[in-house]
């Protein structure tokens, strides 16, 4: 209960006592003293203006044991900002002070430039950046994603992490199987998918839809996954949770999943919001502490 309250009551005051650096260029700083903590804002990991991250580096970190939380915001692949996860960023800093935290912006989809594959490439490019020796971080990652960010977290962790650096994923209302008839036969859902795949319908390229479906990319090596969905979500069909769980179970991947009855797209009731936090903390404490 105490730990969950720590996560709910975000202690932004903590940032006043930590080293704060605004970093617009990846070339400005050559090293960060591992005996000091830093909160770096708007750190560039590429040349595009949207390729920015906020990064918390804990005190006494080292490349052997300092694990990293990676936060990936939602917004239908074409909107949203890392600021959406500021509370989670600060909450994780307070609750797990020995872990690093990355809060990621990525290139948003536009009509002429869909989210896939550039957003997966951005995740990799950001991870390549924090693997540089100057940060003194381990190659052990736990991904948090909401909605489209949860989809990207799962897709990256299941299909684009050959070295198995991703150890766990928290999936909150993420699309998992875009070949699901509940998606491809629904005009609203189908329109949203344009942000990811562009102006390509399922009938035109079913292989592409399977390629970008996390549930279709699960293997026996996939990271442990905890998932949360709402039964009346207007954007995510309820079938998405069961399709993912079926794939995870078939491959023997440790996982947990919760469907909050009567709740929507992550806007949990107070009781369910408390349950959500308790389950996340328990999962992290079990697998990633």
Taken in order 278, 70, 87, 93, is the CA torsion positive or negative? positive
The pLDDT, as a whole number, for residue 22 is: 56
Per-residue pLDDT, averaged over 152-172, amounts to 98
| Mean of per-residue pLDDT scores for the chain | 91
d(CA 130, CA 45): 9
Q: Which of 190-194, 213-217, 240-244, 268-272 has the lowest mean pLDDT?
A: 190-194
d(CA 211, CA 117): 10
pLDDT digits (tens, 9 = 90+) for 10-53: 333 333 333 455 554 445 688 999 999 999 999 999 999 999 99
In the predicted structure, residue 154 carries a pLDDT above the cut 50: yes
Per-residue pLDDT, averaged over 74-90, amounts to 97
* The two structure tokens encoding residue 168: 């766990």
pLDDT digits (tens, 9 = 90+) for 97-147: 999 999 999 999 998 999 999 999 999 999 999 999 999 999 999 999 999
The pLDDT, as a whole number, for residue 8 is: 42
Taken in order 76, 265, 12, 70, is the CA torsion positive or negative? negative
The pLDDT, as a whole number, for residue 173 is: 98
| Rounded (10°) CA dihedral 226, 84, 175, 250 | -20
pTM (2 decimals)? 0.92
Alpha helices of 118-167 — where are they, by DSSP H? 118-130, 148-159
d(CA 119, CA 10): 29
Cβ pair 49, 123 in contact under 8 A? no
The pLDDT, as a whole number, for residue 29 is: 81
pLDDT digits (tens, 9 = 90+) for 198-254: 999 999 999 999 999 999 999 999 999 999 999 999 999 999 999 999 999 999 999
d(CA 194, CA 204): 13
Q: pLDDT class for 189, splitting at 50, 70, 90?
A: confident
pLDDT exceeding 70 applies to what percent of the chain? 90
* The two structure tokens encoding residue 42: 């708007």
d(CA 161, CA 200): 26
């Amino acid at each position: 209960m105490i730990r969950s309250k720590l996560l709910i009551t975000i202690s932004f005051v903590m940032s006043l006592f930590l080293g704060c650096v605004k970093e617009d260029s990846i070339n400005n700083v050559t090293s960060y003293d591992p005996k000091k903590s830093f909160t770096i804002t708007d750190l560039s990991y590429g040349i595009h203006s949207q390729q920015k991250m906020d990064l918390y580096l804990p005190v006494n970190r080292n490349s052997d044991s300092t694990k990293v939380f990676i936060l990936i915001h939602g917004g239908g692949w074409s909107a949203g900002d890392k600021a959406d996860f500021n509370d989670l960023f600060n909450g994780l800093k307070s609750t797990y002070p020995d872990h690093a935290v990355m809060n990621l912006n990525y290139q948003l989809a536009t009509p002429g430039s869909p989210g896939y594959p550039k957003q997966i490439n951005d995740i990799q490019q950001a991870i390549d950046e924090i693997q540089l020796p100057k940060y003194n971080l381990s190659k052990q990652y736990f991904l948090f994603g909401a909605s489209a960010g949860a989809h990207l977290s799962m897709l990256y962790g299941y299909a684009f992490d050959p070295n198995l650096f991703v150890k766990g994923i928290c999936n909150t209302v993420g699309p998992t199987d875009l070949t699901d008839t509940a998606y491809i036969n629904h005009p609203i859902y189908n329109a949203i998918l344009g942000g990811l795949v562009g102006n390509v319908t399922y009938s035109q390229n079913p292989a592409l839809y399977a390629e970008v479906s996390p549930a279709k990319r699960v293997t026996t090596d996939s990271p442990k996954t905890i998932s949360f969905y709402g039964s009346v979500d207007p954007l995510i069909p309820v079938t998405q949770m069961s399709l993912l769980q079926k794939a995870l179970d078939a491959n023997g991947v440790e996982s947990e999943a919760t469907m909050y009855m009567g709740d929507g797209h992550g806007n949990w009731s107070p009781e369910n919001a408390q349950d959500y936090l308790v389950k996340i903390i328990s999962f992290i404490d079990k697998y990633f502490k």
